[in-house]
Chain A
Amino acid sequence: MHQAHVTNFDEWRATARNLLSMEIAPEQVHWDAGAQISLWAEAEDAVVGDSAPSSPCASRRTKPQLRVPAQFISLARAASCFIDAKVPAEKWSLLYSLLWRLVRYDRRTLSLTTDPQVQCLNRMARAVSRDCHKMKAFVRFQRVCTRGTPANSDAFFTAWFEPDHAIVERVAPFFAKRFAGMSWSILTPYGCAHWNQRVLSLSTGVPRPPAVSDEYELFWQTYYCHIFNPARLKEQAMQSEMPKKYWRYLPESVCIKPLASGAAASTQQMLDADRTDPLRVRSRSSRVREAQDTLRAQNRQ
């Protein structure tokens, strides 16, 4: 039995190449996952897994050219961010099994869309991609008021988020490109990303959110309350796209309950209210009447 200890995609790739060149079947490898580490912070330390077979063995034979579909690499990269607390190393063994099948048996393996392993890979990659998408959507920056800062020049923004998977490194460049002209930190329990308008850096996670308040939260809540149409209440539709677990990041979530519970009454009020005479203003204001008549005359031409 071979032991392979990996903590990120590049380590897995190096280890898997090695194992494959020695023709070691997936059943003969025991994968073991350490805490997911970042390549940025630990680039120098990124080594092939501890107990992975050493290279002399591999160098005895000529390494076969490893060619796998590009689609596999991009799916595998995504799946490598997947966190399953119960079976943390399952993703690495799954990736190796699929790699084995792709290289040794059938390059079309990924087209077996109902194959359990292929489905599992796709599901992991989809979960990670969904997590990234939700993070892009639901991260909320708060402006940190540094004393004596005029207007916006030195404003600094911070956000707290708890992704399901190890995606901070994967998503951080998106924020750097989007908020290029602003300094910010995104803090999560599994790692933090920082942008100072020049470089993106990562650091270890922090356990809890910073205590910050931001005056624009009131503006956002006001907007949220007034863009809602009570006659169309569909709480289930809202929750399927914005599950409750994200609400704690969203300043607008305090508005949801009162809006939903008042919706029926305010709709009924609209239905019961008196109707307004369409001539109400027209009959009083000659300016309005003339303007409307001019337009109406043009339409009849």
Chain B
Amino acid sequence: MIDSDVLLKKLAILADAAKYDASCASSGAERRDSSATGGIGSTSGGMGICHSYAPDGRCISLLKILLTNFCLYECAYCVNRTSSNVARARFSIDEVVTLTMEFYKRNYIEGLFLSSGIIRSADYTMEQVVAVARKLRLEHRFAGYIHLKTIPEASPELLAEAGLYADRLSINVELPSEKSLNALAPEKNARSIDRSMQNLELGIREYKESKREARKQGNRKLTLPKFSPSGQSTQMIVGADAADDATILQRANGLYKRYRLKRVYYSAFSPIPDASSQLPLKPPPLMREHRLYQADWLLRFYGFSLDELTYRPESREQTGMLALDQDPKLAWALAHRELFPVDLNRADYETILRVPGIGVINARRLVKQRRIRALRFADLQRLRLPIQKVKSFVTVIDHKPTSHQLDNDQLAARFASSVDKQLSLF
């Protein structure tokens, strides 16, 4: 029997301890459900489901908690570091299993995101985390989503077992450089973080390849045991060290390329209760975080390269920082006005993607439409493109921006002010 009062207190403490991890995604899972097993749970395939939103605008998809917030590490930015005065608690394995199952049955969540402070040793802690997932999967036939935070120093056998039950594994790189990590998180080891990410990548790749091979040969026995089928992700804290945006994006880009991460999460360093005297506290740089996500998208889905991102549009020079008053695509376009206007009836898809105000979906729609009939200005209006933004950068049959429009020095200022108004909403 569970003591409700005690469990409520633990839940409050261990949710408080987990909230600074940005990830809460349940997307891109391998499709499965419980119709064959009679158990509980399913994954929704491509798009995840957000069952609620906190007043901070963040999706609540998973029960995101720490198994315990006792921790031996002294990471200056972390609310759970050894020296912090916050209240401490530890869930039993059964308590996490019960909360997950009961929340899931009420359709509050898509699954569990379990992390933990490091107690005793890396292996001991990881063993506890794995035990929760094992119990959910094997004893309760739980088929919902499970994301486990992996401790990089834990043994490969434990990671392999974690991969068997988890949809996604993640290791936080925390800070963009080894130097910052040494200074702010002296117990963390940049090399073992890298090594473990590499191991995860290998495990994920081997599993995926075996699945492909099994399908090709029509022999299911060739599929290796599951290994983190939704891949791995990581998180970087923004604003706790002096790293500029270019450094952060470079690190992210390297991680995407080397370890094929599904996502790099950027987490604006936020004031925490009982902060360390090592760090100056300021309100979190939310706009900077937002711009990093936009730049990250441009890198992954829009064909931009690293050196195209950190422009100051006024000076048309590169700096290490993304402009705060303009999105990175607009900043790039304003610094490269000679490439515009783009003729939407002739330009290739990749070029259309570079027009400020046109995203992946509308770029596809435009290309599809023009195969049948040439594009006119009314088409842009019907697609509900942000006309004020788009019209300076594109040509269609019945619309050509006047050349002085693009040369106008006021152009940047016009966009900057309109963006500013939106900013105040946050």
Is the CB of B407 closer than 8 A to any CB of chain A?
Answer: no
Which chain B positions have C-beta within 8 A of A108?
A: 372
Decide if B369 touches A111 in the complex (CB within 8 Å). yes
* B57 on interface, CB distance cutoff 8 Å: yes
Residues B83 and A276 in contact, CB atoms below 8 Å apart: yes
Produce 1/0 per residue, A217-247, CB < 8 A to B: 0111011111111111111111001100000
Q: Which of A178, A223, A235 contacts B55 (CB 8 A)?
A: A235
Contact for B281 among A112, A140, A271, A292, CB less than 8 A: A271
Contact A137 B372, beta carbon cutoff 8 Å: no
CB distance from A175 to the nearest CB of B (A): 8
Q: For residue B277, which residues in chain A have a CB less than 8 angstroms away from its CB?
A: 275-278
B375-387: contact bitstring with A at CB < 8 Å (1 yes, 0 no)? Answer: 1001100110000
Closest to B121 in A: A291
- The reply on A207 being an interface residue by CB < 8 A is no
Would you call B103 and A180 a contact (CB within 8 A)?
no
Contacts of B55 in A (CB 8 A): 228, 233-235, 238, 256, 259-260, 263
Chain B positions 194 through 236: 1 when the CB is less than 8 Å from some CB of chain A, otherwise 0: 0000000000000000000000000000000000000000000
Supposing A111-B371, A180-B33, A238-B56 touch, asked if A219 and B8 sit within 8 A by C-beta, the answer is yes
A232 touches B286 (CB 8 A): yes
Among candidates A143, A219, A238, A270, residue contacting B53 with C-beta atoms closer than 8 Å: A238
- Which stretch, B37-45, B247-255, B302-310, B408-416, touches the partner chain A? B37-45
Give per-residue flags for A135-149: 1 if the beta carbon is below 8 A from chain B beta carbons, else 0. Answer: 011111111000000
Question: B38 near A281 (CB under 8 angstroms)?
Answer: no
**Whole-angstrom distance from the CB of B61 to the nearest CB of chain A?**
9
Which residues of chain A have C-beta atoms less than 8 A from B37's C-beta? 180-181
| Smallest CB separation, B196 vs chain A (Å) | 15
B257 on the A face (CB < 8 A): no
Q: Which of A143, A197, A252 contacts B52 (CB 8 A)?
A: A252
Taken together as a complex, chains A and B put the C-alpha atoms of A288 and B120 apart, in Å, by 10
Give CA–CA (A291, B118) in the complex, Å: 11
- List B326-358 residues whose CB lies under 8 Å from chain A: none
Known contacts A223-B63, A228-B19; is A299 also within 8 Å of B187 by CB? yes
B40:A179 contact, CB within 8 angstroms: yes
Interchain CA distance A136-B412 in the complex, whole Å: 43
**Using Cβ atoms and an 8 Å threshold, which residues of chain A touch B29?**
none
With a cutoff of 8 Å between Cβ atoms, the chain B residues found around residue A286 in the complex are none
The interface residues of chain A lying within 8 Å CB-to-CB of B19 are: 226-229
Q: Is there contact, CB below 8 Å, between B106 and A142? A: yes
Q: Is B288 on the interface with A (CB-CB < 8 A)? A: no
Chain A nearest CB from B119 CB (Å) reads 10
Instruction: Report the bound CA distance from A263 to B189 in whole Å.
Output: 35
- CB closest residue in chain A, given B10: A222
Cα distance A155–B251 in the bound complex, in angstroms: 50
A226 and B372 within 8 A (CB): no
B397 within 8 A of A: no
Smallest CB separation, A153 vs chain B (Å): 13
| A137–B51 CB distance below 8 A | yes
Q: Which residue of A lies closest to B64 (CB)?
A: A227
Chain A's closest residue to B65 (CB) is: A223
Q: Are B41 and A178 in contact, CB atoms less than 8 angstroms apart?
A: yes
Q: A237 vs B54: C-alpha distance in the bound complex, in angstroms?
A: 9
* Min C-beta distance of B386 to chain A, whole Å: 16
The residues of A that contact B272 with a CB separation of less than 8 Å are 270
Minimum CB–CB distance from B10 to chain A (whole Å) comes to 10
Does A1 reach chain B (CB closer than 8 Å)? no
**Residue B320 interfacial (CB < 8 Å):** no
Indicate if B102 sits at the interface (CB-CB under 8 A): yes
- Contact A222 B56, CB 8 Å, known A227-B64, A271-B281: no
Q: What residues on B are CB-neighbors of A252 within 8 Å?
A: 52
- Does B38 lie within 8 Å of A271, measured CB to CB? no
Residues of A within 8 A of B57 (CB): 232, 234-238, 241
- Is A231 within 8 A of B426, CB to CB? no
Q: Which of B40, B49, B73, B103 is close to A137, meaning CB atoms less than 8 Å apart? A: B49
Given contacts A216-B102, A292-B187, A295-B187, contact A181 B40 (CB under 8 A): yes
A213 interface residue, CB < 8 Å from B? Answer: no
Q: How far is the CA of A218 from the CA of B11 in the complex (A)?
A: 11
Residues of A within 8 A of B368 (CB): 111, 113
Assess the B383–A113 pair: CB atoms within 8 A. yes
From 5 to 27 in chain A, residues with beta carbon under 8 angstroms from any chain B beta carbon are none
Q: Which of B76, B102, B276 is the one whose CB lies under 8 Å from A219?
A: B102
Inter-chain contact B51/A181, CB cutoff 8 Å: no
With the chains together, A99 CA to B425 CA distance in Å? 44
Shortest beta-carbon distance from B166 to chain A in Å: 19
Say if the beta carbon of A46 comes within 8 Å of chain B: no
Complexed CA–CA distance, A218 and B368 (Å) = 51
Q: Assess whether A282 is in contact with B271, with CB atoms less than 8 Å apart.
A: no
Taking CB atoms, residues of chain B closer than 8 Å to A278 are 74, 76, 81, 83, 276-278
Give the residue name and chain of the A residue nearest to B190 (CB). A299
> Residue-by-residue, is A97-136 near B (CB-CB < 8 Å gives 1, otherwise 0)?
0000000000010011110100100000000000001001
Interchain CB contact (< 8 A) of B72 among A176, A178, A280, A291: A291
Judge whether B108 is part of the interface by a CB distance below 8 angstroms.
yes
Say whether B64 contacts A273, CB under 8 Å: no
In-complex Cβ contact of B105 among A157, A226, A227, A288 (8 A): A157
User: Complex formed: what's the CA distance from A133 to B26 in Å?
Assistant: 14
Which 4 residue pairs of A and B lie closest in terms of their CB atoms, listed nearest first?
A237-B57, A234-B57, A275-B277, A226-B15
A-B contact pairs, 23 of them (CB 8 A): A111-B369, A113-B365, A114-B365, A138-B51, A139-B107, A178-B40, A178-B41, A216-B103, A216-B106, A219-B7, A222-B15, A223-B65, A226-B16, A227-B19, A229-B270, A230-B56, A231-B284, A233-B55, A236-B426, A238-B55, A250-B52, A295-B189, A296-B186
Using a CB–CB cutoff of 8 Å, the interface residues on chain A facing chain B are 108, 111-114, 116, 119, 133, 136-143, 157, 159, 174, 176-182, 197, 214-216, 218-220, 222-238, 241-242, 250, 252, 256, 259-260, 263, 267, 270-271, 273, 275-282, 288, 291-292, 295-296, 298-299
Other than A136-B49, A179-B105, A180-B35, give 19 A-B pairs with Cβ distance below 8 A.
A113-B368, A113-B383, A114-B379, A133-B49, A177-B34, A181-B39, A182-B40, A214-B106, A219-B7, A228-B55, A234-B55, A236-B426, A238-B57, A242-B53, A267-B271, A275-B277, A278-B81, A282-B83, A299-B189
